[in-house]
Structure 1
Amino acid sequence: MSALEIRNVRKRYGEVETLKGIDIALESGEFLVLLGSSGCGKSTLLNIIAGLSEPSGGDILIGERSVLGVHPKDRDIAMVFQSYALYPNLTVARNIGFGLEMRRVPRAERDRAVCDTARLLQIEDLLERKPSQLSGGQRQRVAIGRALVRDPQVFLFDEPLSNLDAKLRMEMRTELKRLHQMLKTTVVYVTHDQIEAMTLATRIAVMRDGRIEQLATPEEIYDRPATLYVAGFVGSPPMNILDAEVTASGLKLDGCEEVLPLPAAFDGTALAGRRAKVGIRPEAMRLAAESEDPRLTADIEVVELTGPELVTTATVGRQRITACLPPRTALGTGSVHAFTFDETAMHLFDPESGRSLKVG
């Protein structure tokens, strides 16, 4: 049974259609991340699931029950907001238990649920404090606790970590992952941060202009992007995209003499003479050894040491590439180096539709 089903959901504001037919079926215990840049429609979709906005078309089912027209409090959901939305005059304990209090849950049962939730989130010693006495990370734990204590069918998170600094974001990602693994809760989580998406999700829906570009596991999104947009959006540094033409001998890159072999996954006969976008992840690239035939010869422009890796920007003819190399690699700005990579690391996309050209 699907915990949440989104059927052909559309949303229109006047002449502007912000959601253009979204279909997702979410099984119990899944962690779905809606990923995309600002304005793609991910928060609009979350608000429709929550009941804060009604769709212009389609249906939302929670536990196989349509919730169109159902008040948010009756949808069996809990939502964690970007702003925490804590009551400043209430203690942590009362903030966590406020929803139970409004539902007239008996005091003893309510106190027990609050204590169990605080223990789970490791904030037992904060129960008598007010929100003004808490750090950003502690406030976020309280907001999560207020959702957890209700034990709903679906949890909704609207960019909950965006107000935290980098260190706290990493800690809270780990905490959310731990909680999900323990509780097996069903989650829909909105973010524009691809690291959050990759580390937390069981599936990712990459959204663009009110549509889903690809819905798949993090591994598939990263290793087999369905479109140019997904390939460029997911990954840091982003995937190298090179212009080329498919020829009988391989992939002729624009502006240089390099010809790359056509990977076995692509039908060279069917593609011959077509234009293509060639995608290669920066981490798939390495310096060619003397015994290897190089794939590309590049002029080094910029070298940046991040600590765990050396991020190198270079040009191949008129096109720019990025390579992530071991941190002790000896490279100098202005030097020329030969690079290689496994042909299975290459992706081909249609330059007009943006879709992958892979066979099957």
Structure 2
Amino acid sequence: MSALEIRNIHKRYGEVETLKGIDIALESGEFLVLLGSSGCGKSTLLNIIAGLAEPSGGDIRIGERSIMGLHPKDRDIAMVFQSYALYPNMSVARNIGFGLEMRKVSVPEREKAVRETARLLQIENLLDRKPSQLSGGQRQRVAIGRALVRNPQVFLFDEPLSNLDAKLRMEMRTELKRLHQMLKTTIVYVTHDQIEAMTLATRIAVMRDGRIEQLGTPEDIYDRPATLYVAGFVGSPPMNILDAAVADDGLRLASSGESLPLPVDFRNAVTAGRRVKIGIRPEALRLANMGMPGTRVTARVEVVELTGPELVATAKLGEQRITACLPPRTRLVAGLEHAFSFDEAALHLFDPETGRTLLPA
């Protein structure tokens, strides 16, 4: 029996359908990230799980029981909000233990649970402070502690790191990963940040327009995108998408006319004359050297950007643009043509009409 099962969930607001049949089964201890751009339905789904919104159809089960119609406090779920939602007039200790206080847990038991939670989150020295005396990262730890102390069956996180600066986000990602590995809790986590999704999740559900585009491990999502949307949404810089056609001897790029090999995995899925979209990750491209194995293409470099750990080059291949992520000391000159190479196994093929991968099931 799954720890959390979402069955055919729909949500309508009048004539507008924001969730269009969501099905996910989550095993105990999984970390599921709902990933997508604003308006895709991920927060609506989280609110339905929490009991803050009612679905128009479908069922949600925790273990063997349906939680439809139950008040949020009766669902055995704890939620961490983007805004922290701490009580400003209470100490950190009371903020963490307030839920237990409302459940009439005894003072000694409550104090023990608060101390243990503070130890896990490394905030023992903050228990007597008020929220106004804390940094953003410390407030987020307190908000997480308030959820942890209840020991619920499922934790829900609604973009909890979006208010933090880049350094604190990275630190809190590491902290959340550490806590999940230690406690083996079941988590549903909403974000539009693909780095958070890739680093935290055991599985990712990429959502678009109220549907799940792809559900899989971070490796599946990144290495085997099921659709053009997933290919372009996950990855920074995003996957290069090029127009091409299948020829008798491989693939022919639109506008430049350069010839590429047809990857072995796709040879039974396409026929000559068919138009396709080719995808290739920027990091799969490298500056070609004479004698280097792999497929070569020549492109005119337009922009070169050093980010520190890598050199990001934007180049024009015929009338199409490609981005390459190269080692930081690569010698490139903007305005000149350079040869790039890659392995044919790095190519992805998509149907330009449906947007779905042409990789056989």
Same fold (TM over 0.5): yes
Q: Report what 1:341 is aligned to.
A: 342
Higher deviation after alignment, 115-124 or 263-272: 263-272
For the pair 1:179 / 2:174, whether they are aligned, the reply is no
Could you tell me which residue of structure 1 aligns to residue 303 of structure 2? Answer: 302
CA distance in 1, matches of 2:295, 2:359: 24
What is the aligned partner in structure 2 of residue 129 from structure 1?
A: 129
Does structure 2 conserve the Cα–Cα contact (< 8 Å) formed by 1:136 and 1:164? yes
Q: Is the 8 A contact 2:246 2:270 kept in 1?
A: no
The yes-or-no answer on 1:164 pairing with 2:164 is yes
Aligned counterparts, 1:260-339, within 5 A: 260-267=260-267, 270-292=270-292, 294-339=295-340
2:288 and 2:276 map into 1 onto residues whose CA distance is 25
Aligned to 2:63: 63
* 1:294, distance to aligned residue in structure 2 (A): 4.7
- How far is 1:247 from its partner? 1.1
Matched residue of 2:24: which SS?
A: strand
CA distance in 2, matches of 1:300, 1:205: 36
Please, which moves more after superposition, 238-247 or 260-269?
260-269
Deviation string 1:181-239 (CA, Å, 9 cap, x unpaired) is 00000000000000000000000000000000000000010000000000000000000
Q: Which moved more, 1:215-224 or 1:261-270?
A: 261-270
Is the 2:296–2:341 contact (alpha carbons within 8 Å) kept by the matching residues of 1? yes
1:248 aligns to what? 248
SS at match of 2:290: coil
User: Aligned-pair distance for 1:290?
Assistant: 0.8
Match of 1:354 in 2: 355
Give me the TM-score of the superposition, normalised by structure 1. Answer: 0.99
Residue aligning to 1:81: 81
Moved more, 272-281 or 40-49: 272-281
Deviation of the 1:318 alpha carbon = 0.2
* C-alpha distance in 1 between matches for 2:343 and 2:77: 46
Where do residues 45-124 of structure 1 align in structure 2 (5 Å cutoff)? 45-124=45-124
CA RMSD in angstroms, aligned pairs only: 0.8
Distance 2:95 2:140 in 1: 12
CA contact (8 A) 2:261 2:295 kept: no
| Contact kept in structure 1, 2:228 and 2:350, CA below 8 Å | yes
Aligned partners of 2:124 and 2:271: how far apart in 1? 63
Query: 1:359 Cα deviation (Å)?
Result: 1.8
Aligned to 2:352, the other structure's residue is in SS state coil
Cα separation, 1, equivalents of 2:163 and 2:130: 19
Q: Distance in 1 between matches of 2:269 and 2:119?
A: 62
**Residues paired across the two proteins, number:** 360
- CA separation in 2, counterparts of 1:157 and 1:137? 15
TM-aligned CA deviation for residue 270 of structure 1: 3.7
Letter in 2 for 1:5: E
Question: 1 CA distance for matches of 2:219 and 2:131?
Answer: 38
**Post-superposition, which runs of at least 4 consecutive aligned residues in structure 1 deviate over 6 A?**
none
Structure 1 residues 66-113: Cα deviation after superposition (integer angstroms, max 9, x where no partner) = 011000000000000000000000000000000000000000000000
TM-score, with length taken from structure 2: 0.99
Aligned residue identity for 2:325:
C
Equivalent-residue separation in structure 1 for 2:295 and 2:87 (angstroms): 62
> Residue 150 of structure 2 aligns with which residue?
150
3-state DSSP of counterpart to 1:302: strand
Q: Is the 8 A contact 2:269 2:360 kept in 1?
A: no
Aligned partners of 1:271 and 1:160: how far apart in 2? 48
Identity %: 81
Residues 240-291 of structure 1, C-alpha deviation per residue, up to 9 Å, x if partnerless? Answer: 0000001111111000121110000002574321110000000000011111
AA at the equivalent of 1:356: T
Q: Post-superposition shift, 1:12? A: 0.2
2-side partners of 1:125 and 1:153: how far apart?
28
Q: SS where residue 171 of structure 2 aligns? A: helix
Q: Which amino acid aligns with 2:356?
A: R
Name the amino acid aligned to 1:346. Answer: L
Quick one: structure 1 residues 268 and 255, their matched pair in 2 at CA, closer, same or farther if it must change by over 3 Å?
farther
Which consecutive unaligned segments of at least 5 residues does structure 1 have?
Answer: none
Say if 1:5 and 1:64, in contact at 8 Å, map to a contact too. no
Q: Report the alpha carbon displacement of residue 63 of structure 1 after superposing the two structures with TM.
A: 1.4
In the TM superposition, 1:25-64 aligns within 5 A as 25-64=25-64
AA aligned to 2:68 is L
Q: 1:321, 1:156 → 2: CA distance? A: 38
Q: How does 1:168-247 map to 2 (within 5 A)?
A: 168-247=168-247
> Quick one: distance in 2 between partners of 1:190 and 1:131?
24
Moved more, 291-300 or 306-315: 291-300
Asked if the contact 2:295/2:343 (under 8 Å) is kept, the reply is no
Q: Give the whole-Å Cα distance in 2 for the aligned partners of 1:56 and 1:247.
A: 49
